[in-house]
Chain A
């Protein structure tokens, strides 16, 4: 029995790790500074644009992520404060169920709806703004429930003690809750950032183009992003250079996502130790 379990568990433990190592193995030969920063020798006019510097894709991804989080954070905070301060027991339950259901809806569905409303009905076109709004809606339930859980971990005595001093709700939030819960709230935000960096499908047809964009001129112009870049390159089977760049982009994207998720882990440890 034990042997059978270990036999079954081995692929579960080893395969994902092997995948990570394989990506590194494939990416390392292609990964160098000129690939990321761009160089004179890179052939920009190359049809596959595989020679293009990854810098533009990286900045595009980060831009989308930042905008989405800036949009989503205040809304998520107000949801969390509503949950913690105003909502009745029943309203809390409805809110939590609502958030759970929203988290379950596939991101591509949001992408579709964004395509209808933002791209076509509001005429924003394929643009940075469209992508940011769609990503914001996707991470909103995740971010809200993360912050709600962070606030729930504050001991009730603290809040009661503050309320007993006659502090207003705004003052309780600012002077009691933020100092107590900022690390866990930040952890939630960082996790949402990692999530918005890894979403690909919803921005594929709503925010990004393959190449030719260095830096978006305005909110309403398209961007390039790492995620979609990998997708386009992956399909260029005939072009060995493109595949190399795809692996390199995957490694860079992984590094970015891991940076955020490890930061979140570190913050949680820090919170536990202090």
Chain B
């Protein structure tokens, strides 16, 4: 009897949990439906976003998000990977542990704090050294994001490298392979699934990050001119939602369009975490 009550409790808890996790996704779809039905899928590549003139093109924000991701990953992957390799293969074990712990702690720093640093340290610096008007730019957002996802990428890569058995390293040494060859031919291939998972998780985090981006990106709803101009203020999907969420009136087309941004964001992010999940499952069969 007690057993049955217990199982009933567990099942009802699961029911509530899945319901509350799935409800947001349904509302996302339901509320953005007016937007999709009146503007259609083509608004994904519309270039104009003027809510007050009922122009809702998502392309500027999507391009902005992609640029920010490229910059963030371009900085964070080489640096994070190098830091992982240096700490697992060059530094002594005690340093390694210290570094891992501090990286884990750094991964937990709230994004709004990074936003503050971006706003009051990075922007003035960019302004001064690149001669920008305010410093608000895609570059600034990308750099701040790279700082935020560095610890994630590094910790995952470090764990993956540490999981390569000592026997494998020794076997490679016994074959007379030098340090670089061991790195390229034994360590990195074997740690690759874990490293890839870390990269995808970092990418997902960078995609969904709001506060830091919102503070430094400049929130300018237009395509970069020309498209590779990353030194001008721009907009990303998350910063648009964050900026306009408080302004849009509930039930309006503007609100619905923001929900559409959210839906696009959620789809991309779920795809990324699915990919990360699949790869990590291959890593530990």
- A and B held together in a complex: yes
A residues bordering B, Cβ < 8 Å?
1-2, 4-9, 11-13, 15-17, 19-20, 22-23, 74-79, 81-82, 85-86, 96-98, 100-117, 119-120, 133, 136-137, 140-141, 144, 168-170, 173, 194-195, 197-201, 204-205, 227-228, 230-231, 234-235, 243, 246-247, 250, 253-254, 257-258, 261-262, 265
Bound CA–CA A79/B113 (angstroms): 33
Is A227 in contact with B110, judged by CB distance below 8 angstroms?
A: yes
Q: Known contacts being A205-B245, A258-B105, is A9 close to B21, with CB within 8 Å?
A: no
The chain A residue sitting closest to B249, CB to CB, is A120
Is A79 in contact with B258, judged by CB distance below 8 angstroms?
A: no
B16 interface neighbour in A7, A13, A19, A75, Cβ under 8 Å: A75
Is B102 in contact with A113, judged by CB distance below 8 angstroms?
A: no
Q: Known contacts being A19-B117, A105-B270, A112-B245, is A117 close to B112, with CB within 8 Å?
A: no
Cβ contacts under 8 Å, B272 to chain A = 104
The answer, yes or no, to whether B177 is at the interface (CB within 8 Å) is no
Query: How many interface contacts (CB-CB < 8 Å) are there between A and B?
Result: 254
Bound CA–CA A149/B25 (angstroms): 26
The answer, yes or no, to whether B165 is at the interface (CB within 8 Å) is no
The chain A residue sitting closest to B242, CB to CB, is A201
Cβ contacts under 8 Å, B101 to chain A = 265
Is B6 in contact with A170, judged by CB distance below 8 angstroms?
A: yes
Q: How far is the CB of B191 from chain A (nearest CB, A)?
A: 15
Give 14 new A-B contacts, CB below 8 A, not counting A22-B117, A109-B266: A9-B79, A105-B269, A106-B210, A113-B262, A116-B259, A117-B23, A120-B251, A136-B20, A169-B6, A204-B242, A204-B245, A228-B112, A231-B211, A261-B105
Cβ contacts under 8 Å, B105 to chain A = 258, 261-262, 265
Cβ contacts A to B, 13 pairs, < 8 Å: A1-B180, A9-B86, A75-B17, A104-B270, A112-B241, A120-B251, A169-B7, A197-B110, A227-B110, A227-B211, A230-B116, A231-B211, A235-B215
